[in-house]
A = this chain, B = another copy of it.
């Protein structure tokens, strides 16, 4: 294997918050970073060029979806995911664990792995910790995630304990497999990105002791980064913040920390303040398609009749391409008329809002002003509750 491995270095701290740089085979990523979700190798409603214009440095793609269609073998034959989808910057692939969890009655979890039926054609599949490691090795993402078991909320402590323990055993198997693959091809599979990092995932539901145990044991497996999973699934917001704050205490300072599937703009600010470096969430893109805009004054549902004759931009404080050119009245018309460009223009705005928020967070950390930024951010949102 040639070239340096995945690298992460801290550049500034402010309380528990950190700024850093992740170095991958496809370039650097400044953290804290927000990853738009490109489920099937594309972010819904926008093009790669739009993402580049927005300053997106890292994209998330879903292993579950790409495995089912077009398949990791096909993508490997095309030279890996980056070449296949024409995206040249860093990418993270999840493990498919959360998607399988979402399949509800169409899946069974066993010790060997997750048995499930495809949402595309009903075909039966088994995803093991080794198989998801293989798939992501073939995709050649810059960061691969281990297969974890996601648990519904609420769950009993005993259910959470058993599940957490299984996730740990799976993490160990996934790590072993990647180390094997790094040494050479295994059963026809070879790593298509020699610098691919692998992140472990802390589980344990809402139980502090289980989270502690999961964090310590996952760290011990030697991953290049650590994630916190199983949150944003219905637990109270304070519980989530407490778990994040508690978990990050166990995570080594020199490795990136990724809070999976979270969250609102406020969640970003609050979680960075608790030591998180990396986020992904479908909220900005999915809500955009439903007409909900994130603004400096709170959320705004553009389909609301009150905007029918409103000539002001969606967010007067925003400098995105949508706010610089279009009125609420026009965006409402497009959204009500179900025009495709409603989704595009709303998505461009929401992603800009998220990326701008994370940029401002980084700046605040560098100036040692995160606490003040956090307060202003909270106050501004509470002034005008807007549509939500």
Contact = CB atoms under 8 A, between A and B. Distances in A.
B44 A309 contact: no
Contact of A45 (B77, B308, B309, B340): B340
A49 B44 CA distance: 18
Interface string A280-322: 0000000000000000000000000000110100000000010
Interface of A: 40-49, 65, 69-70, 74, 77-78, 84-86, 308-309, 311, 321, 325-327, 329-330, 333-334, 336-337, 339-341, 343-345
A195 to B, nearest CB: 23
A46 B326 CA distance: 15
Given A42-B339, A74-B329, 15 more contacts: A40-B333, A41-B330, A41-B334, A42-B340, A44-B340, A46-B341, A47-B341, A47-B345, A65-B337, A69-B333, A70-B336, A78-B327, A84-B330, A86-B330, A340-B343
A327 B340 CA distance: 23
Given A74-B308, A308-B74, A325-B48, A41 B333 contact: yes
Nearest to A289: B340
Given A47-B345, A345-B47, A86 B340 contact: no
Given A86-B327, A325-B86, A308 B70 contact: yes
Contacts of A345: 47
A383 B386 CA distance: 60
16 contacts: A40-B339, A41-B334, A42-B334, A45-B340, A46-B341, A47-B341, A69-B333, A69-B336, A70-B308, A74-B329, A78-B311, A78-B329, A84-B333, A86-B325, A86-B326, A340-B344
Nearest to A310: B78
Contacts of A311: 78
Given A84-B330, A86-B330, A337 B40 contact: yes
Nearest to A339: B42
Contact of A69 (B43, B44, B47, B337): B337
Contacts of A309: 74, 77-78
A119 to B, nearest CB: 12
A344 B43 CA distance: 12
Contacts of A321: 49
Contacts of A70: 308, 329, 333, 336
Nearest to A70: B333
A27 B88 CA distance: 39
Given A47-B344, A48-B325, A340-B340, A334 B84 contact: no
A311 B85 CA distance: 11
Kindly name the residue among A74, A77, A330, A334 whose own CB sees the greatest number of chain B CB atoms within 10 A. Answer: A330
Q: Which 10 A-B pairs have the closest CB atoms?
A: A42-B341, A70-B333, A86-B325, A42-B339, A40-B337, A86-B326, A44-B340, A45-B340, A40-B339, A47-B341
Nearest to A321: B49
